[in-house]
Structures are given as structure tokens and as C-alpha cells.
Copies of this chain bind each other. A is one copy, B any other.
Amino acid sequence: MCTGIATVSYATQVEKVWMRSMFLGEYEHTIDAKGRLAVPAKFRAQMLKGAVVSKGMGTCLSVYTLEHWEQRSNELVAGMSSDDLRDFERRIYPSASEIELDAQGRMIIPAKLRAYANLTSEVTVAGVRDHVEIWDRATWQSYQEKLDTEGSNIPF
């Protein structure tokens, strides 16, 4: 019944992005009173097969596709003593949460993770090659300014 033009064109778009298999761009979105965050439309297709949000490196959250999540955790687990491994697992897995999108393409960010990354309402969602990062907007901006000055020696 509802398999009209809209769905078809969306599917085409999906495929284009999926082929690239990479997260690019920076989006200024808001977290609403219910803790919901609209995932940038360009990122949604890659999350079709499942994604995980967890504590990120620094004051931010990381979103990985299921594929990358497993790949990455397996790599890390490989080179660890069993004591370090236990700590690692107890830090990462409990902090993580599977991502589910509602009909509007929004995810819910658990309160604990919001607190960890200092997220209130105004956030920046950034595609960083193999994952997506969620930052408090002000924190992100000052971080970027720092990178722009300090990191001017990076050859690009």
C-alpha cells in the first residue's frame, strides 16, 4: 500500500551511500526532552544492519555499525592480558547500547551516556570515517578551533 515513489527514491539514495561505506560530514542537531536525537539522514542507511553507541575517546560518544564494532573489539581483545581484558569489557560493554531508530530516524541516547559526554540539547554529529561521533556543540567547536591552529602541520 505505501510502497510509493517516496520509498523507491529513498532506497536509491540508500544504496549510493552504502556503497561508500564511510561516514562524512558534520551536522548540528538537537537532543529533545525525551533524549531523542535525529540521526543525519545520510548516516541512516549504514545503520540498517545494526549499530552500537558507546563511550567515545574523549568527551564524546561513538556510534559504530555492528560490523565495525565487532571487528574493533576483537582486535583489542586479541592483545590483552586477562586482567586488562576484564577491565576493558567492564568498561565498554555496559556503557554501550544498541541503537534503534524510530519512524522519524531518531535514536535514544541513554541518560548515562548523555551525562558522560556532557550532552544537553545542542550537539554536533560528525562522521569520522568508520564511525560517528556525538559531541556537545560548544565542546566540538572549541576542539575544532584547537585542531585548526595546532594541527596546521598536517599535510592536507
Question: CB within 8 A of A5: which of B3, B79, B91, B128?
Answer: B3
Q: Is A117 an interface residue (CB 8 A)?
A: no
Closest residue of B by beta carbon distance from A58: B86
Selected A-B contacts with CB under 8 Å, 20 pairs: A2-B6, A3-B103, A6-B7, A7-B104, A10-B47, A11-B102, A14-B50, A14-B51, A14-B66, A14-B100, A24-B97, A25-B96, A25-B97, A25-B98, A55-B156, A88-B151, A90-B126, A90-B143, A90-B147, A91-B144
Contact B15 A98 (CB under 8 A): yes
Chain A, interface size: which category? 35 or more
Q: Across the interface, do A5 and B2 meet the contact criterion of CB distance under 8 Å?
A: yes
Q: Is the CB of B93 within 8 A of A22?
A: yes
A24-69 CB contacts (< 8 Å) to partner B: 24-26, 44, 47-52, 54-57, 62, 66
